[in-house]
Structure 1
Amino acid sequence: MSDIDRKIAKGAAWMVLFKLVDRGIGVVSTVVLARLLLPADFGLVAMAMTLIGALQLLVAFSFDVALIQNPDAGRDEFDTAWTFNVLFAAACGVVLALLAPMAAVFYNEPRLAAVIYSLAIGFVLQGFSNIGPVSFRREMRFDREFKFLLGKRMATCVTIPLAFYLHNYWALVIGQLTGTVLSVWLSYSVSDYRPRFSLRAKVDLFHKSKWLMVNNLFQFLNNRAGQFILGRYAGAQALGVYSIASEISSLPTTELVAPVNRAAFPGYAKAAGNLAALRASFLNVVSSIAMVALPAGVSILVVADLLVPAALGWKWQSAVPIIQILAIYGVIEAVQNNIGYVYLALGRTTLITWTAGLQFALLVSLLIPGILWFGVLGAAGAFLVTMILMIPVNQYLIARCLGLSALQFVRHVMRPLVASSVMGAVVLLLKDALQPRPVTLDYVMALLLCVAAGALVYAGSLYALWRWAGRPSGPEGYAFARLEDVLRKRGRVSSQPPGA
């Protein structure tokens, strides 16, 4: 394993650890909040976040990417990036306040204006976040990145006690605003860098970030188009169901894989001058992603009908088929999403923009009729079909960039795919045999049993396939070799007589 691959693996371990903790907190928060609040409460805040997300595009120049890519970036570049963030956030906060009444009329939701006013304050404050922590990723010091991100996540935990006290959507709004204030303070606590107002590097930063801004626009449209159209035509109730379904389905796939991508990009940037090294690193990362995303997505697919009553409650039953559709979507997206980071490392930002634009065009052509004809299910189906159609496009482009054959790519995901399929079949059989009563506790016990059985079947199947393939190197080989070493050492220790 090369030095870069080791750093990527170490960084990925820190980032996955953070995401496990983060999503653990997120799961608990979602479950508690879903039982305390109504779907319409989540839908109302989602309407506001759609507008805020649209305006965030005005400050989404991805300056952090440019700072990571450029090994010569110094104080001028860091200060300029921070200054732009402050100025654009302040401008967008004013625009948000002006648009709030019109948004309330558009959605026919009078309560929305006050929500937007409140969240606009947090938007402005977020712009003052310290730019210094970007250096943690740039220098691949992911242990410090872990502490920073974990601190930011803990700052959002104020939402739960607020929900117990308020029992309405203001718990979500005030909780997010409080979390923003604490995260800005934390950004200055973890880094001794103190930014200053400066625009000395404005030309260089804009030149490197212009295509990334267009890409961010398409990424936002791809992610938020469904919520925007659902909120307009189906109302807060339907949007709330979709938002929670999307949250649950993405927990073990795209959300868990995101930290791997976060750790991989700095390594790709360092290996960009060596195509063979970059290709090897990419395949190792894809294999690692497949090992996590495939079994996680299949698990959500097969146990969604147990998960929703057990975790969210019976009032969320309509979310089950949506979660199942989006679980498949999340698996495909997780495996494909890392490709964009290779383009960034190679400086091929136009490829990211054009593929995102094509994906948006396909999505819109499917999304509007899907929602009008089938409602929330149509929205989920449109996302899934779009992602399936993008597979050959993404594979063709990455093959051209890295000199990579389709067989090489498939070989690195085939064993996790087969093992996940075996796991899914076993869990389906077990679930049919259990047939729990319509009681929450029965569903909780059935869910835990299915998850435990699925984990054992997946691990055993993947290990058998790895041995059958001749114990190839890579993430599987590293994980299983370490496991065998641990078991071998414990076997030797346990076989010794007492006092030996």
Structure 2
Amino acid sequence: MSSILGRMVSGSLWLSGARAITNALGFVSTIVLARLLLPADFGLVALGATVLAIITAVTEMSLSQALVHHPDPREDHFHTAWTLSAARGLLLALLMCVAARPLVWIYDEPRLELVIYAFAASVLIGGLGNPRQIMLTKELIFWQQFMLNVVGRLATVFTSIMVAIVWQSYWALIAGVIAGQVITTVLTYFVLPFRPRLGLKHAGELWSFSVWLTLGQAINTINWRFDQLLVGNILGKAALGFYSVGDNLAQMPTREATAPLTGTLFPALARIAHDPDRLRHAYHRAQALITFVALPVGIGFALVAKPLVLVAMGEKWLPAVPVIQALSAVFALITLGSMVQPLAMAKGHTKQLFRRDLQMFCIRLPIIIGGTVLFGLPGLIYSRVITGLLAAAVNMWLVRQLIRLSITDQVLANGRSLIAGAAMAAAVLWLQHALDTPAASVGWDQILAIAASVATGAVVYPGVAFGLWFMRGRPAGPESEALKIPAMIRGRRGDPEIGQKA
């Protein structure tokens, strides 16, 4: 267990660095582009991106996960994976080209046709990536992801900003996506050399693992992307721009703070899936630590959303603030059960993930449609909060089925974190009320409010969490795991195994 946890920490360091850099680049890019482009521009591109996400999910084959799960993939497995991926990319590009004209008619937006064609070219390029580089992930080695993520994001951000400065057109967003895709695909062949050839020898073997993931991904993406199509059709492109940008910003803090750990969880759990006790213990520890990290950043971002938007993006983006406030907190809370995905994949129970996704589709879609049609954007926000909390409950129930870890035990493992998060929120809200910053002022008042709120949260959350931990006699929990990480980092710096395998 200590060896695997050490590898997870080492991998998390690489992913943390990549996430820190790409997060900063993405945030800067969003701020710059938000000032250069209009909300309707973001809404137009969001329509194309949503169509791409849905069509991609419907044909997703989860080949990387199948290779990680396979005990000993051979060269023919990689040729099969490359052939399937390339064929899928070509099929996706053709489907998007066929769908372009009908979508123009549905949304009454002539510019959408060329946007769809551009995204079709992007997905075709992405299908040609090197599947062999996943072997490093299988061995819990993640330097390649650092390079791919950082260089790809640099290409995306640089291209988008340059095109926006010169032309101030929505094509800046699309050009950035294509540039990042081209650079990332080319770099995969420098990570681990591979000369692909056509072959389908192991197609059935890989498909047997990934078929349920594919079906689940299709249902899940339609479920979670349908709201953007709905907003674009009912409320207009400007509202979709506010919603899509707010949604993306709301996801960012929790995603970037926890991704270094969640990215290592599937390959780590897959290595011990044969041992139920170790698997249960490892999941319990990892989940509690992830929520311990997610709560302060997710709730904290919600608390500073309004002054941050005013300072960074300007008053024209204020309608995005309620989206950020509600969803940022929800994204942090749903980490209570969201780690069920790598857990079920590690055990090979992908069919149960599909059943979960189908259940959430039947529950979520009517709530989202009803909330949006009846109450507009505020109704959609409340619907997202309700369905997010329901999803967390369903995920925790599935964890109970997979490893016999009761829902009560799952909640209690995060009890101190939840109390500390509530205390932090109360303290920051009281401070903001005391400061009484003018709602629409842009300048040093808002910057002071942000700085004071962040400082208060940084003191209150760990103070309450560790205070409760000491009062309970320092039991095993996320606090003790967090204190072990610096020692693990020092211990892994000189690990020769990492250098040899990298």
The answer to whether the 8 Å contact 2:246/2:323 transfers is: yes
How far does residue 270 in structure 1 lie from its aligned partner after superposition? 0.7
The answer to whether the 8 Å contact 2:295/2:418 transfers is: yes
Give TM-score scaled by structure 1 length: 0.93
1:339 maps onto 2:340 in alignment: yes
For residues 136 and 341 of structure 2, the distance between their equivalents in structure 1, rounded to whole angstroms, comes to 21
Report the CA distance shift for 1:475/1:136 in structure 2 as closer, same or farther (over 3 A).
Answer: farther
For residues 138 and 482 of structure 1, the distance between their equivalents in structure 2, rounded to whole angstroms, comes to 22
1:452 maps onto 2:461 in alignment: no
Q: Which residue of the partner structure matches residue 401 of structure 1?
A: 402
How far does residue 346 in structure 1 lie from its aligned partner after superposition? 0.9
For residues 24 and 367 of structure 1, the distance between their equivalents in structure 2, rounded to whole angstroms, comes to 31
Q: Which shifted more, 452-461 or 362-371?
A: 452-461
For residues 227 and 443 of structure 2, the distance between their equivalents in structure 1, rounded to whole angstroms, comes to 31
| 1:480-491 alignment, distance < 5 Å | 480=483
For residues 118 and 393 of structure 1, the distance between their equivalents in structure 2, rounded to whole angstroms, comes to 38
How far does residue 469 in structure 1 lie from its aligned partner after superposition? 2.2
Post-superposition CA distance 1:9-49 (Å, at most 9, x none): 32233223322222111111111111111110000001011
How far does residue 182 in structure 1 lie from its aligned partner after superposition? 1.2
Report the CA distance shift for 1:482/1:139 in structure 2 as closer, same or farther (over 3 A).
Answer: closer
For residues 344 and 215 of structure 2, the distance between their equivalents in structure 1, rounded to whole angstroms, comes to 15
CA-atom RMSD in angstroms:
1.9
| 1:174-253 alignment, distance < 5 Å | 174-253=175-254
For residues 244 and 261 of structure 1, the distance between their equivalents in structure 2, rounded to whole angstroms, comes to 24
Q: Which residue of the partner structure matches residue 162 of structure 1?
A: 163
How far does residue 307 in structure 1 lie from its aligned partner after superposition? 1.9
For residues 436 and 395 of structure 1, the distance between their equivalents in structure 2, rounded to whole angstroms, comes to 40
1:461 maps onto 2:464 in alignment: yes
Report the 3-state secondary structure (helix = DSSP H, G, I; strand = E; otherwise coil) of the residue aligned with 2:304. Answer: helix
Q: Which residue of the partner structure matches residue 21 of structure 1?
A: 21
Question: Percent identity at matched positions?
Answer: 33
1:70 maps onto 2:82 in alignment: no
For residues 485 and 474 of structure 2, the distance between their equivalents in structure 1, rounded to whole angstroms, comes to 13
For residues 201 and 105 of structure 1, the distance between their equivalents in structure 2, rounded to whole angstroms, comes to 42
The answer to whether the 8 Å contact 2:340/2:398 transfers is: no
For residues 401 and 99 of structure 2, the distance between their equivalents in structure 1, rounded to whole angstroms, comes to 44
| 1:320-469 alignment, distance < 5 Å | 320-437=321-438, 438-469=441-472
Post-superposition CA distance 1:330-385 (Å, at most 9, x none): 12333321112111111111111111111111111111111111212222222221
1:47 maps onto 2:50 in alignment: no
For residues 389 and 475 of structure 1, the distance between their equivalents in structure 2, rounded to whole angstroms, comes to 24
Q: Which residue of the partner structure matches residue 83 of structure 2?
A: 83
Instruction: Tell me which amino acid in the other structure corresponds to 1:138.
Output: K
Post-superposition CA distance 1:215-242 (Å, at most 9, x none): 1112211220110111111111111100
How far does residue 481 in structure 1 lie from its aligned partner after superposition? 5.9
Report the 3-state secondary structure (helix = DSSP H, G, I; strand = E; otherwise coil) of the residue aligned with 1:253. Answer: helix
For residues 316 and 145 of structure 1, the distance between their equivalents in structure 2, rounded to whole angstroms, comes to 33
Report the CA distance shift for 1:194/1:335 in structure 2 as closer, same or farther (over 3 A).
Answer: farther
Q: Which residue of the partner structure matches residue 140 of structure 1?
A: 140
Report the CA distance shift for 1:4/1:280 in structure 2 as closer, same or farther (over 3 A).
Answer: same
For residues 55 and 6 of structure 1, the distance between their equivalents in structure 2, rounded to whole angstroms, comes to 38
The answer to whether the 8 Å contact 1:136/1:145 transfers is: no
How far does residue 162 in structure 1 lie from its aligned partner after superposition? 1.6
Q: Which residue of the partner structure matches residue 311 of structure 1?
A: 312
Structure 2 stretches of 5 or more lacking a match? 490-502
The answer to whether the 8 Å contact 1:40/1:237 transfers is: yes
How far does residue 289 in structure 1 lie from its aligned partner after superposition? 0.9
How far does residue 473 in structure 1 lie from its aligned partner after superposition? 3.5
For residues 295 and 195 of structure 2, the distance between their equivalents in structure 1, rounded to whole angstroms, comes to 42
Post-superposition CA distance 1:131-168 (Å, at most 9, x none): 12211211111233322322222221221122111112
How far does residue 387 in structure 1 lie from its aligned partner after superposition? 2.2
Report the CA distance shift for 1:482/1:106 in structure 2 as closer, same or farther (over 3 A).
Answer: closer
How far does residue 58 in structure 1 lie from its aligned partner after superposition? 4.4
Post-superposition CA distance 1:372-424 (Å, at most 9, x none): 11212222222221122234332222112212123321232111111111111
